[in-house]
Chain A
């Protein structure tokens, strides 16, 4: 910015002095504000660096002690003598399995709701239903945990799990996956609670990307005589595929890191069982239930689990964002 100094003779001298002072004030204020804004923006970047750094420092003793074996060891014995035996396979397995099952349930339902909201729902009902589904996302996760523990758990253990187990009794493979005994605390219960929790994310993103489809494409398809389902299946979904997959990845990122809801219902067992009706644990549940009482190598191993979780979610979320960005560019073009 260049300053224009106007010379108007001697009488204007005091005015000029005030003006110079005001300009100087403006300048310092301006640059201070700019620097503050830059610092704040840098904080966001530093935060990510700080998180990674602090996790690596915290996890270092466990990394040097266990190395790659940590990923393949199932035994979790923090009190073993002389040295604790700690392996992360159990929680890693639980995290992945519970998230995948949650996605298998939440994705079809979420897409169904999004299709309902964009294609079927009468205009006046769209907003209330949309908001109601989004409110599901606002409920704190501890509430989901309590509900899963006190309501869903008994229901599953008494009615649904025995019924499923009986139905698949004689079918190979399935009778291992759905083997009893039914229990309140299980991987299955955790997956269901997770599914309900990520449902609003899948729905909201799917609805938003479905709305980006140009109406003229849909109208053309209807004009050719397509049914509603054919329009969705052949026009809407192909057009928005990248965005939908991005939304699913985003939901997966949430599911992987969800803590409180899972801690309540998963049973915190580090043993891997073939049955999803058996208790298990996830990385976040393990940290939440053991961290406060842990020390030394045990604590470091928990931080290492946290680091693994962060790396995992980082890549899932990064992929999700890149996909959503691709759709946005397409929309902008």
Chain B
């Protein structure tokens, strides 16, 4: 082997070793973060966590029931508002306006909304909902989450509908089906799994969001399901409890953090296995 070739091989070996090292480095962070979460949060995963209210400072025990319920309400409401609009908008882009200029504009804007800082969404909802309504409310929080969920759903819906073969649509239209029935009975049904994936990803995305809730839903120390008042929710509760020296609050915050992470990660894994390799971005 001539020395020039040997040096090229050496360079290649070194570069590839660095790439492998980078992968190990990346996976090490994931392991470390998960380890920290389990280490600090696992002890807190008790029955009381799901059955008792958030305790006052410097008390013993307590759970996160009001925060968990609040988070569920906000998420369901947020998805309930954002998802139908998102699916319809995605349907418009893939079915009605597939080749029109406006669709590429919408796609472009939607992609920007998809990556827009979530705190900006919070500011927007603060200006558009909280100020006119005269105070922080669960409704404002849910709307902020809806705005965050919308672009995720639009993106996956369009991607998934575009995967449906055109022949299916042509066959339906040839039978005399109006376009809207064709969309609902044929294309939606054919893309059902993909649409569900989009919803799951949207739920995963909004359930960990903290920044937009800080000044929309705020949080609430007590049980409240009134949408017009501030509403307890896991992320903001964690944020408030972890920054407090009270060890009981800290324990609950770690348990809540573990809970959210497990929920989000399992949603992501389910969504990924549903979509089976095609990963919607």
List the 8 closest pairs (A to B, CB-CB), nearest first.
A257-B117, A140-B208, A112-B22, A40-B88, A227-B12, A33-B180, A229-B12, A54-B127
A313–B264 touching, CB < 8 Å? no
CA gap between A285 and B131 in the complex, in Å: 22
Q: Are A317 and B181 in contact (CB under 8 A)?
A: no
Which residues of the partner chain A approach B261 to less than 8 Å between Cβ atoms?
Answer: 139-140, 143
- Distance in Å from the Cβ of B112 to the closest Cβ of chain A? 5
CA distance A63 to B238 in the complex (A): 35
Q: Mark B265-276, 1 if CB is under 8 A from A, else 0.
A: 101110010000
User: Are B23 and A129 touching (Cβ within 8 A)?
Assistant: yes
CA distance A196 to B32 in the complex (A): 12
- Chain B proximity of A139: nearest CB distance (Å): 6
Chain A interface helix/strand/loop/mixed: helix
Alpha-carbon gap, A316 to B189, bound state (A): 37
Instruction: Count A interface residues, CB 8 Å.
Output: 89
Q: Which residue of A lies closest to B131 (CB)?
A: A58
Which one of B29, B97, B118 contacts A259 once the chains associate, using CB atoms below 8 Å? B118
* Chain B 84-98 per-residue mask, 1 if CB under 8 angstroms from chain A, else 0: 111111011101110
Q: Which of B152-191 contact A (CB under 8 A)?
A: 154, 178-181, 183-184
CB-CB under 8 A for A47 and B181, given A113-B23, A291-B215, A317-B111: no
CA distance A27 to B37 in the complex (A): 56
Question: Once bound together, how far apart are the Cα atoms of A196 and B89, in whole Å?
Answer: 33
Q: Does B116 contact A (CB under 8 A)?
A: yes
CB-based contact B178/A29 at 8 Å: yes
| 21 A–B pairs (Cβ distance < 8 Å), ordered by A | A30-B180, A47-B150, A50-B124, A51-B116, A55-B127, A112-B23, A116-B19, A134-B272, A136-B30, A140-B235, A143-B33, A147-B32, A149-B242, A204-B281, A230-B8, A257-B119, A291-B123, A310-B117, A313-B120, A317-B115, A318-B112
* Least CB separation from A225: chain B residue: B5
CA distance A314 to B32 in the complex (A): 33
Q: Residues on A close to B: CB < 8 A?
A: 1, 26-27, 29-30, 32-34, 36-41, 43-45, 47-48, 50-51, 54-55, 57-58, 108-113, 115-117, 119-121, 127, 129, 131-136, 138-144, 146-147, 149-151, 196, 199, 203-204, 227-230, 232-233, 250, 253-254, 256-260, 284, 287-288, 291-292, 303, 306, 309-310, 313-314, 317-318, 321
